[in-house]
Structure 1
Amino acid sequence: MNRYIRKCRLMGCSFELGIVSSEETIAQHFLGEGVKEIQRIENLLSEFKSESQISQINQNAGESQIKVDPEVFDLLARCSQISTISKGYFDISVGPLKRLYRFKNDDFTPPDKRKIAETLKKVGHHFIKLDKTEQSAGLKRKGMKISLAAIGKGYAADVVRRKWKENNIAGGYIDASGDLTAFGKDENGNPWKIGIANPDNQDRTLFHIPLNDAAVATSGDYEQHFIHKGKRYSHNIDPKTGFPVIGIKSVSIFSPSAELSDALATAVYAMGIQRGIAFLDQLPQTHGIIINDENKVFFSKKLQYESISA
C-alpha cells in the first residue's frame, strides 16, 4: 500500500488530502473527487462569494427568507443545535463583532464599550430563523451576518470521508490547516496519530493522540491575536460579551465528526477552561485539550494520549 497526496487551497485555508491504496489510478481519481466536493461545498457556504446561499441570506438580513438546498438547511439546523447545547458559546452570527477588531499579532486599541454594545444587537443565534416547511433561512435583524467558517471545513471533511468510505477506500485523511479527520490505517498498517503542537512553537509536538475513524480540530491564537496594555487577546470572540477571549492559547477537540470538533473547538474556547472541560465531560465520544496562557495543559476525562519528552 502507498500513500497518495493532493494539496490545494480551498475555503480560505490549506487542505491536504491523503489516500492509502495499492492502485495509484484509483487514489488519484478519488483525490480529485475529494477536491471537487470541497469546491462544491465552498460555493454553497462561502460568505465571500456573492452568489452563495449564505451570502444571499446575509444580503437579505432583516427582510426576507431565502430558500436553500436541503444540505445547507440541515447544516444550519445542526448549527442551531450546537448553539443550544453550548448555551450560545457557538454562534455563527458573531461576525459583526469580529469586524470590530484587528488580529494582526501586534498592539491594538479595542473599540469602546458603546460600539461593542451596539454591535451585540446584531448578534445572536436566536435571531436566525429556519423554516423547515419552506426549506428557508433568514436573519431577523438588519445588519446581521452569518459565517460558517467555524464549522464549514469540518463539514466538508466529513462529506469527503463519507464518500471515500462508501467507495471502499482502505484509509485516508483530510487535513484542513491542522483540523484533521482520518479513517482506516496508514500505508504501513498503523493507526493514524495526530500531534498536538506547542502553541508557542508549531514545530514542537507536545502530545500524540491516536485517531481511529475520528476527527480533531484545534482553535489557537498563535496566528491571530493582539496585544493591548501588555495583555494578549485571542481572535476568538465571546458572543455573549462581545470581547475577545483571554487566558487560553489553544483548544483541541476530538470527536467522531470533523464538523462537531470544528464547532466545539470554537465553543469551548469561548467558554473558558473550567466551564469548557465540564461541558466536554458530559458529551459522549468527545474529548479535549486546553492550553492556557501560561502553557498549563488541561485534559477532559478518559483522553488517551502520549506525552512527547522535551
Structure 2
Amino acid sequence: MPFYTNPFTTIAIAAILLGSGNLTTAQTPHPQSNESSDSRLEGYDYTFPAMGTLVSLKAYGTDKASVQEIFQKVEQRVEALAAILTDYDPTSETRRLSPNAFNADVHVSPELWQVLLASDEWHRRTSGAFDSSLGQLTRLWRKYRQAGRVPPPEQLQQALSLSGWEQVRLNREAQTVRFLREDLRLDFGAIGKGYIVDAAYEVLVANQLECCLVNISGNMRCGTPPPGRGGWRIEIAPIAKGGTPLRRIEIASCAIATSGDLWQYQEIDGVRRSHILDPQTGMGVPGPIAATVLAPTATQADALATAACILPPQSMEQLVASLTETAILVASQRTSTEAITQKTYGTFPPDRSIQQGPHHR
C-alpha cells in the first residue's frame, strides 16, 4: 500500500482492528529540494494487532530484509510491554499489584516502574485530572456500558472510594510500589499506549530507521520527515461521525495524540458522556469533545490528551505555559445545534503548517 494514496494519516480515536503482521513497500514521493531527501531510501509499512487495536509502523530504509527484521523487533517489544501493562489479563504484572501491593512494598519491572513514574508526574502536573488509579471505576463503567446501562449510584460511589492516586506510594530508591487502599486497581489506558509508542519508536531509531512513524490508536510518534517532504502529514479526525477533519498538519520529530468520545460515549439524562472519566466525580466528561496534543514524547501526549478533556481552560493555559514544546487543540460542541469550537493552548500548527520538534533518541 503506498504511503501517499491518501496523503494524510488520520489521528483517529481508538477503534478495534484485526490483522496480521504484514510488510509492504511504499512509493517514495518524488524528491524535492529538501536536505532529508535521499533517493536510495524506500518506504515500508508494517501492521500487526496488539492491545485490541492495530499497530502501524512506517519507515524509510535502504534494505527490505533489514527493515523487516527491525519491524519484527518492534512487534516483539510491543507485545512484551502490552503483556505487562494490560488490566484485562489477571496474570499481568499490573493486575497482580492489586492483591499484592496493599500495605506491602512490591518491587516492579523497569518498564512498569517507568509507567508508574510517568503516571505520578502527570497526576501532579495536571492537579489530579490525569489519574492511573481509576481501575475500579473503568471496570464498573465497562460492565454497564456494554449492557447499555448506567452504574447504580451506590456502586459508583464505592468504586470512586477505591480510587485515587494519593493512595499509591512509590519508593524511588527501592523501585517499589505500595497501595494504601485495599482493592485499589490501576488502569494505564490513558498513558500505556503512549509509553509503548515511545518504546517502539526507540527501537526503530536505535536501528538507524530515523525516518519513521509509529501509530497506535491515534497515539503517534514520528522521526525525521519522509524524503522530499517537510514533515509527516497528519489529519486530525472530526469530533462527530461524518464530520470534516479538524485540521491537516505536518509534523516531524515529535509526538501527537488525540483523546475523545467519537467512538466511545453514552447518553445519560440527555447528556453525551465520554468514556473519559473525571476522577472527581467518576462520571464521563460531557461531550462531544476531543483533545489533540503535540509533545516531545508520546507518553506525555497521551496523558495530556486525557487531562485536556477534563481541565478547565484557565488550568490548561497554566499547564501548557509550564511545559516546553507542547501545544494542545481542544474541540467541543455544547449542543447539536451549536457550532464546534476549537480552543488552542500553546502554538498549535494551523492547517497544512509544519511543527518541528527536537529529535529524541
Tell me if TM exceeds 0.5.
yes
Q: How does 1:200-219 map to 2 (within 5 A)?
A: 200-201=240-241, 204-219=244-259
Equivalent of residue 347 in structure 2, options 284, 302, 309: 302
Aligned partner of 2:268: which letter? H
Equivalent of residue 200 in structure 2, options 160, 171, 176: 160
Aligned partner of 1:305: which letter? P
CA contact (8 A) 2:77 2:200 kept: yes
The aligned residue for residue 196 of structure 1 is 236
- Name the SS of the counterpart of 1:205 in structure 2: coil
User: What is the distance in 2 between the residues matched to 1:98 and 1:176?
Assistant: 20
Deviation at 1:101, TM superposition (A): 2.5
- Name the SS of the counterpart of 1:236 in structure 2: strand
User: What is the distance in 1 between the residues matched to 2:70 and 2:347?
Assistant: 35
User: What is the distance in 1 between the residues matched to 2:92 and 2:146?
Assistant: 31
The aligned residue for residue 85 of structure 1 is 125
User: What is the distance in 1 between the residues matched to 2:283 and 2:91?
Assistant: 31
User: What is the distance in 1 between the residues matched to 2:259 and 2:134?
Assistant: 16
User: What is the distance in 1 between the residues matched to 2:237 and 2:317?
Assistant: 19
Q: How does 1:211-290 map to 2 (within 5 A)?
A: 211-290=251-330
The yes-or-no answer on 1:70 pairing with 2:80 is: no
**Cα deviation 1:247-296 (Å, max 9, x = unaligned):** 45101111010000001111111214443344223321111111112421
CA contact (8 A) 2:137 2:282 kept: yes
User: What is the distance in 2 between the residues matched to 1:212 and 1:104?
Assistant: 38
Aligned partner of 1:299: which letter? T
- Name the SS of the counterpart of 2:197 in structure 1: helix
**Cα deviation 1:164-218 (Å, max 9, x = unaligned):** 2222214011100121110012244441121111111367422122221111111
The yes-or-no answer on 1:53 pairing with 2:93 is: yes
Q: Which moved more, 1:210-219 or 1:114-123?
A: 114-123
Q: Which moved more, 1:78-87 or 1:65-74?
A: 65-74
The aligned residue for residue 152 of structure 2 is 111
Deviation at 1:220, TM superposition (A): 1.1
User: What is the distance in 1 between the residues matched to 2:149 and 2:272?
Assistant: 10
CA contact (8 A) 2:56 2:216 kept: yes
- Name the SS of the counterpart of 2:199 in structure 1: helix
User: What is the distance in 2 between the residues matched to 1:280 and 1:108?
Assistant: 36
Deviation at 1:95, TM superposition (A): 1.9
User: What is the distance in 1 between the residues matched to 2:224 and 2:189?
Assistant: 27
User: What is the distance in 1 between the residues matched to 2:352 and 2:204?
Assistant: 32
Aligned partner of 2:152: which letter? P
TM-score by length of 1: 0.91
Deviation at 1:25, TM superposition (A): 1.4
The aligned residue for residue 138 of structure 1 is 178
TM-score by length of 2: 0.79
User: What is the distance in 2 between the residues matched to 1:303 and 1:162?
Assistant: 25
Unaligned runs of 5+ residues in structure 1 are none
Deviation at 1:307, TM superposition (A): 6.6
When the two chains are superposed, the root-mean-square deviation of aligned CA atoms in Å is 2.3
**Cα deviation 1:128-183 (Å, max 9, x = unaligned):** 12123332223221121001121111111111212222222140111001211100
Aligned partner of 1:149: which letter? G
- Name the SS of the counterpart of 1:219 in structure 2: strand
